[in-house]
Amino acid sequence: MPQSGGRPLTVMFSAGEASGDRHAAALFQELRKYAPQARGIGMGGAEMRRAGVELSFDSSGIGVIGLFEIIKHYPEIRKALNLQKDLLRREKPDLLICVDYKEFNLKLARHAKSLGVKVLFYVGPQVWAWRPGRVKTYGKAVDMMAVIFPFEPPYYEAHGVPVRYVGHPALDKVSPARGKAENLIHFGLNPAQPIVGIFPGSRGQEIKRMLPVMLQAAQRFAARHPGAQFILPQAGSVADALLHPHLAACPLQIKVVKQQMIDVALCCDAIMTTSGTATLEIALIGAPMAICYRLSALSYWLGKQLVNIPYIGLPNIIAGKPVVKEFIQHALTAENLAAEMEALVFEPARRAECIAELAQVKQRLGSGGGSKNMAQLALEMLN
């Protein structure tokens, strides 16, 4: 195992979003199985800190999406980038692992290359969805691109970019702590009454935009189906103060569970979820869902100009067809969402069709071992 001047192997991570924080934490835990003395440093969140990574910057406040939102948070994002560049210069790690957070990490990767630090990019940019010309740009900034979907390597190979399919980390993460019956008891849920999941996301801006309409949809559902139960898994990156005003204004009793998203999903008859990694994790559990998203008008318009695929939800992208309904921008209304929850809970044919399609999505993703494969790839690069 390589050493630098007698010091332990040092791996720097850069993760700017909650999903990247989870992926990096799982990767570092796997890496330490092979290199117990390895030191992890860099930028991330609570999961990485718990895994033993020494954080120089907490990224929980900069995981934003959309042009307007990025401009609004630009001073903090710029500060984070400068801090990570300084850390690279001071520490000269044996390897930089950039986890998602594309544009930020592209800049950091370029800086690492200028310092002679090897770069492994984990969760390659979705060049099949938008701006395919970025392949060459990223190819110049990285030593290896690790992708998580089996159909991605050809996009990079066509441009001579070193690429490895490592498998999707969600395949390993989606492992409930308890069985469904035990979880229903654990969360105090009655299986004789409908159970609807409210999954508003892991970013502050998502909570503000999505949770109010989800709660309105829940009220409509409850008015038509008395006895319905609602449960919300609170992401580790979401502060109580962000949720409380919305929940306090809602007349329904919403059961809030800190984290434990997979176990919560297992209990739900149907789920309304913000678009993102959670949609894939829900798909792997096999829970019927509706996907929601809303951006600022400017960010939405810009996205429409750049994105060249018809879906935003990962299950639909992987399937190549709308296996679950997407309610985006103006289509995201309380009535539309409530009606879809009713269809998924009370219409047997619709429910069975959705569950069968989600099973196909899981099959298309292939086998798991994403974090282990990534750890082995990192060790290959270090050796």
User: In CATH, what number is assigned to the domain containing residue 242?
Assistant: 3.40.50.2000
Q: How far apart are CA 77 and CA 80, in angstroms?
A: 5
Question: What is the tens place of the pLDDT at every residue in 283-296?
Answer: 999 999 999 998 77
pLDDT band at 66 (very low <50, low <70, confident <90, very high): low
Question: What is the tens place of the pLDDT at every residue in 84-120?
Answer: 999 999 999 999 999 989 889 999 999 999 999 999 9
316, amino acid identity: N
pLDDT band at 355 (very low <50, low <70, confident <90, very high): very high
Residue 4 has pLDDT above 60, yes or no: no
Helix, strand or coil, per DSSP, at residue 186: helix
Is residue 247 located within the same domain as residue 158?
no
Is residue 229 located within the same domain as residue 361?
yes
Q: Is the dihedral of CA 17, 18, 19, 22 positive or negative?
A: positive
C-beta separation of 146 from 167 below 8 A = no
Is residue 52 located within the same domain as residue 156?
yes
How far from the centroid of its chain's Cα atoms is residue 298's Cα?
23
- The boundaries of the domain holding residue 122 are 10-167+368-382
Number of domains in the chain: 2
Paired with 270 in beta bridges are: 196
Q: Does residue 136 lie in a domain region?
A: yes
Count of beta carbons in the 10 Å neighbourhood of residue 185: 11
Given this model, what pLDDT does residue 3 score?
54
Q: Does residue 175 lie in a domain region?
A: no
Q: How far apart are CA 191 and CA 231, in angstroms?
A: 13
Is residue 203 located within the same domain as residue 130?
no
Q: How far apart are CA 334 and CA 340, in angstroms?
A: 10
Helix, strand or coil, per DSSP, at residue 163: strand
Average pLDDT, the chain: 91
Pairing of strands 163-165, 144-147: parallel
Helix, strand or coil, per DSSP, at residue 183: helix
Is residue 204 located within the same domain as residue 155?
no
DSSP string covering 102-123, please?
HHHHHHHHHHHHHTT--EEEES
Helix, strand or coil, per DSSP, at residue 90: helix
The rounded radius of gyration (Å) of the Cα atoms in the chain is 21
Q: How far apart are CA 374 and CA 172, in angstroms?
A: 13
Residue 1 has pLDDT above 60, yes or no: no
Is residue 196 located within the same domain as residue 332?
yes
Given this model, what pLDDT does residue 130 score?
64
Is residue 33 located within the same domain as residue 143?
yes
How far from the centroid of its chain's Cα atoms is residue 265's Cα?
15
Q: Does residue 237 lie in a domain region?
A: yes
DSSP tag of 193: S
Q: Does residue 129 lie in a domain region?
A: yes
Q: How far apart are CA 258 and CA 278, in angstroms?
A: 15
Lowest mean pLDDT among 42-46, 172-176, 200-204, 217-221: 172-176
Is residue 185 located within the same domain as residue 140?
no
Residue 2 has pLDDT above 60, yes or no: no
Is residue 330 located within the same domain as residue 376?
no
Q: Does residue 4 lie in a domain region?
A: no
Q: Does residue 327 lie in a domain region?
A: yes
Q: How far apart are CA 261 and CA 245, in angstroms?
A: 22
Residue 270 has pLDDT above 60, yes or no: yes
Q: Does residue 83 lie in a domain region?
A: yes
* Mean per-residue pLDDT, 35-59: 95
Residue 129 has pLDDT above 90, yes or no: no
Is residue 222 located within the same domain as residue 257?
yes
Q: What is the pTM of this model?
A: 0.77
Q: How many CA atoms lie within 13 A of 87 on its CB side?
A: 25
Is residue 215 located within the same domain as residue 269?
yes
Helix, strand or coil, per DSSP, at residue 174: coil
Is residue 202 located within the same domain as residue 286?
yes
